[in-house]
Amino acid sequence: MSEAIVVESRARSFVRDLVALTKPRIISLLLVTTIVPMFVAGHPSWQLVVAVFVGGYLMAGGANAVNMYMDRDIDDRMSRTRLRPIPSGRMQPREVLAFGILLSTTATWLLAQAANVLTAALALAGFYFYVFVYTRWLKRSTPQNIVIGGAAGAFPPLVGWAAVTNRVDLFAIYLFLIVFYWTPPHFWALALLKQKDYGRAGVPMAPLVWGERETKHQMFWYTLILIPLTLLPYVFGVLGPVYLVLATLLGAKFVYEVVRVARASDWTKPAWHLYKFSLLYLALIFAAMVVDRGLLA
């Protein structure tokens, strides 16, 4: 193999690692909850949508990279994280930290220039909340980590809304709450499946501290708060019957999946179904808002 081919192969591997640091599959859902509120809030230009899309990706990607830097001591203990760039030895911790800071700094500048300062400030607040409140503090100290820390994942709707309106009003906060209450049943479904990993890493996830039964009960109660919350826009006349029908059907399916997990003696497959459906559920709830607004426009 020639030297040129070796260099090219290493360059491609390095680029793949940089992309992996941003966790693109996770970011895709965050971007849905960022961009959709822009069209619910108004009629953004395509230039603004692209700028918020890129800025949102860079900010979330930077947060994920810094998260990997901070979790480097436990990632090699977990099967699902030991192949990440740092524990596998493909990248040095300082490189990852510098990359994450570079992405978040670039995102802050881009969002402030293309949208407004409030948008940049909200995105940066989400970055700091995820990195310092969730990763640095809550994740390793309390089984409530994903409940309180889940607020970090609820910032994207605020970012998208502020990009169009330059303010945060009640409807934006409502979108924040949907993501906030969706997070525990979504993430605890994964925690049930990855208990051994979290145990080896010393992370006090709910199933390890509360037990499986109580965790499933908590998933059910959070779902019972979430579903009525998603119907409030129709009750207050903000969204119409199209949204009501779609949100009701999606909510019924979500409750069904949670109940399946709660009642199953062998909950492995139901938990996987719930975890995967919950991703689709959140994206479709936000999409339903745009569909309703489009039909009413």
Measure the CA–CA gap between 288 and 141, rounded to whole angstroms: 37
| Cβ atoms of residues 111 and 163 within 8 Å | yes
Label each residue of the chain as H, E or C: CCHHHHHHHHHHHHHHHHHHHCCHHHHHHHHHHHHHHHHHHCCCCHHHHHHHHHHHHHHHHHHHHHHHHHCHHHHCCCCCCCCCCCCCCCCCHHHHHHHHHHHHHHHHHHHHHHCCHHHHHHHHHHHHHHHHHHHHHHHHCCCCHHHHHHHHHHHHHHHHHHHHHCCCCHHHHHHHHHHHHHHHHHHHHHHHHCHHHHHHHCCCCHHHHCCHHHHHHHHHHHHHHHHHHHHHHHHCCCCCHHHHHHHHHHHHHHHHHHHHHHHCCCCHHHHHHHHHHHHHHHHHHHHHHHHHHHHHC
- Domains of the chain, by residue range, sit at 1-168, 170-297
More confident residue, 70 or 10: 70
CA 179 to chain centre: 8
- Distance between CA 149 and CA 159 in Å, rounded? 17
Specify the pLDDT at position 236.
82
Structural contact between residues 286 and 233, judged by C-beta atoms closer than 8 angstroms: no
Looking at 3.90.1300.10, 3.30.365.10, 1.50.10.10, 1.10.357.140, the CATH number of the domain 1-168 comes to 1.10.357.140
pLDDT at 295 over 70: no
Gap between the Cα atoms of 230 and 116, Å rounded: 28
Residue 8 pLDDT > 60:
no
Q: Is residue 296 scored above 70 in pLDDT?
A: no
Is the model's pLDDT at 18 over the cut of 60?
yes
Cα–Cα dist 286/34, whole Å? 10
Q: Burial level of 100, CB count in 10 A (0-12/13-18/19+)?
A: buried
Region 169-187 average pLDDT: 93
Do the Cβ atoms of 17 and 90 come closer than 8 Å? Answer: yes
Alpha-carbon gap, residue 201 to 113, rounded angstroms: 41
| Whole-number percent of the chain with pLDDT over 70 | 95
pLDDT digits (tens, 9 = 90+) for 33-92: 999 999 999 999 999 999 999 999 999 999 999 999 998 888 788 777 777 888 888 889
Backbone angles phi, psi at 100, to 5 degrees: -65, -45
| CA angle, residues 97, 18, 117, in degrees to nearest 5 | 65
232-274, pLDDT tens digit by residue?
Answer: 988 888 889 999 999 999 999 999 999 999 998 888 899 999 9
pLDDT classification of 5: cutoffs 50, 70, 90: low
CB 254 within 8 A of CB 281: yes
Fold (CATH) for 170-297: Four Helix Bundle (Hemerythrin (Met), subunit A) (1.20.120)
What confidence score (pLDDT) does residue 10 get? 66
pLDDT over 70 at 7, yes or no = no
Single-letter amino acid code for the residue at 189: A
Instruction: Give the global pTM.
Output: 0.91
CA distance 51 to 75: 33
Any idea which of 141-145, 154-158, 182-186 has the lowest mean pLDDT? 141-145
